[in-house]
Amino acid sequence: TQLLEQSPQFLSIQEGENLTVYCNSSSVFSSLQWYRQEPGEGPVLLVTVVTGGEVKKLKRLTFQFGDARKDSSLHITAAQPGDTGLYLCAGAGPLGDYKLSFGAGTTVTVRA
């Protein structure tokens, strides 16, 4: 059982469309990170959100951390083929717990 539930599992859209990926949990996290992974490579960190209610924008990507620090979302505006990949969310646990718990990931395919 995944501590973090990501939805949807797969997403296929046309270039120029918008998409949102969700990451939900019943646990509270001290911080939450989003990664993107391409085939044959390790995950690459996109962003870290720390404060409940926080919104971070990186160009066409918008990340939100829920007020209760249990959930997060990633929104991509005007998706491009280069956005294709596996998107993973990962939560950091309570004080003294140094491991990250990862969601199962959302596979995003952006068709040209």
Partner 1 sequence: KAGVTQTPRYLIKTRGQQVTLSCSPISGHRSVSWYQQTPGQGLQFLFEYFSETQRNKGNFPGRFSGRQFSNSRSEMNVSTLELGDSALYLCASSAPIQGSEQYFGPGTRLTVT
Residues at the site binding partner 1, with contacts judged by CB under 8 A: 2, 29-31, 33, 35, 40-45, 48, 50, 88, 90, 92-93, 95-105
**Least distance in angstroms from the C-beta of 59 to partner 1:** 19
**Least distance in angstroms from the C-beta of 96 to partner 1:** 8
SS in 3 state form for the chain? CCCCEEECCEEEEECCCCEEEEEECCCCCCEEEEEEECCCCCCEEEEEECCCCCEEEECCEEEEECCCCCEEEEEECCCCHHHCEEEEEEEECCCCCCCEEECCCEEEEEEC
Which one, 35 or 110, has the nearer CB to partner 1?
A: 35
**Least distance in angstroms from the C-beta of 87 to partner 1:** 12
Which one, 16 or 57, has the nearer CB to partner 1?
A: 57
Which one, 59 or 99, has the nearer CB to partner 1?
A: 99
